[in-house]
Amino acid sequence: MFRIEADRARFREIVRGRIRSDLKKYLSTAELIAKHGERAVSVPVPQIELPHFQFGENQKGGVGQGPGQKGEALDEGGQGEEGVGAAGDSEGRHILEVEVELAELAEMLGRELELPRIQPRGKREIQSDGGRYSGIRNSGPDSLRHFRRTYRQALKRTIAAGEWDPQHPRVVPERDDFRFRARRSQPVPDSSAVIFHMMDVSGSMGREQKEIVRIEAFWIDTWLRSQYQNIEVVYIVHDALAKQVDHDAFFHLRESGGTKISSAYELCLKLIQEHFRPEDWNIYPFHYSDGDNWSARDTERCITLLRDEILPRVNQFCYGQVKSAYGSGQFKKDLDDALGSDERVVTSSVAERGDIAQAIRAFLGKGR
């Protein structure tokens, strides 16, 4: 659809602030929420809302539906549902919200970005027997009875027998209708993987840059988790010095000062050597920065470290460059020049949130 793409391109230009700066004050980021269990995944969507006369957000309530005693608090889980008063413009546009499991989410990600499933590395095909109840059989213990399939079968039989009455849709399953889940073993490429997320937290990495890294890291974790039974995630932050931190600190820490990327690579290498033998682990280091490094000398040091020490031990090394107001973006160029021909190295650059999908595709698209 060519026309809408032109409108979308113009919208993106506005969001990036290249044109129509008068609209900037109306720009906000809404989030689409996918829920899976307790956690929610948000997909950010930029929005520009032209001012209108409208009712305040904090209206004094509304009308709800469901059980509950007077004074009982409502579940606020639902996001962005339309109330009765707020009506959309177009008629008959039916939007169905779905809940997603993490595994499904990974699958969708894989399908959407056409990610290949990961090929086992080297000879180590430890075929772990992934016993999963994904098959269906006609007999089995009651505890494995598949309610939906049983019901469906019973319904088919009812209809075939001409007993179906739409006014009284009653279906009584019989013994022959019962269906049971069956165990099916699936070869799983390998069992364990470790992800290193390394991030530059020097002064030039702002909140937006970290947010981009957070989203990217989340999806990478989600995908790799769907490919391996056992995942360890190691977080490393660095400015001129590197240190290992926990998940929380990784996304919230803000340091300042210079940037010495080699410090992170050294720490990563040290951890690999001490804890994650390449024979037992699939290793995925990811590094995110805005592309500034302290000196060309240090960049050389990084390249040597990668080429001689890190690359031989890992499945793939990924560098994601996040565009910031101050970053020069030199590091990606240097990496590409020195190691671009090595297929274990993948680099990508992200200027804004919309580019994240492309970056993930680049990182995970090789199936390594």
Of residues 321-360, those binding another protein (CB under 8 A):
357
Stretch that binds another protein, among 57-65, 174-182, 198-206, 248-256 (CB under 8 A): 57-65
Write the CA distances from 313 to 130, 180, 284, 326, integer angstroms: 26, 44, 10, 33
Q: Output 95 or 325, the one with its CB closest to another protein.
A: 95
Tokens of 272: 């690999």
The residue among 51 and 141 lying less far from another protein, judged by its C-beta, is 51
Does residue number 32 form part of the binding site for another protein (CB under 8 A)?
yes
On whether the CB atoms of residues 318 and 286 are closer than 8 A, the answer is: yes
Residue 78 sits in the site that holds another protein (CB under 8 A): yes
Under 8 Å between Cβ of 217 and 197: yes
Minimum Å gap between C-beta 18 and another protein is: 12
Count residues binding another protein (CB under 8 A): 85
The secondary element (H helix, E strand) that includes residue 183 is strand 180-188
User: Does 34 contact another protein by CB under 8 A?
Assistant: yes
Residues 131-160 that bind another protein (CB under 8 A): 151-152, 155-156, 159-160
Is 199 a binding residue for another protein by CB under 8 A? The answer is no
Task: Note whether 70 binds another protein by CB under 8 A.
Answer: yes
* Residue 22, helix vs strand vs coil: helix
The number of residues making up the chain comes to 368
- Contact between 90 and another protein per CB under 8 A: yes
- Contacts with 297 (C-beta within 8 Å, 6 or more apart), sequence order: none
Is residue 357 left, alpha or beta, with left meaning phi > 0 and alpha meaning psi from -120 to 50?
alpha
Is 1 one of the binding residues for another protein (CB under 8 A)?
A: yes
> In the complex, what is the shortest distance from the CB of residue 2 to another protein, in angstroms, rounded to a whole number?
8
If one asks whether residue 166 binds another protein (CB under 8 A), the answer comes out as yes
Handedness of CA 51, 52, 57, 58 (dihedral sign): positive
Q: How far is the CB of 105 from another protein (least distance, A)?
A: 8
CB of 102 to another protein, least distance (A): 13
What is the C-alpha R_g of the chain? 26
Q: Which of 29, 40, 103, 108 binds another protein (CB under 8 A)?
A: 108
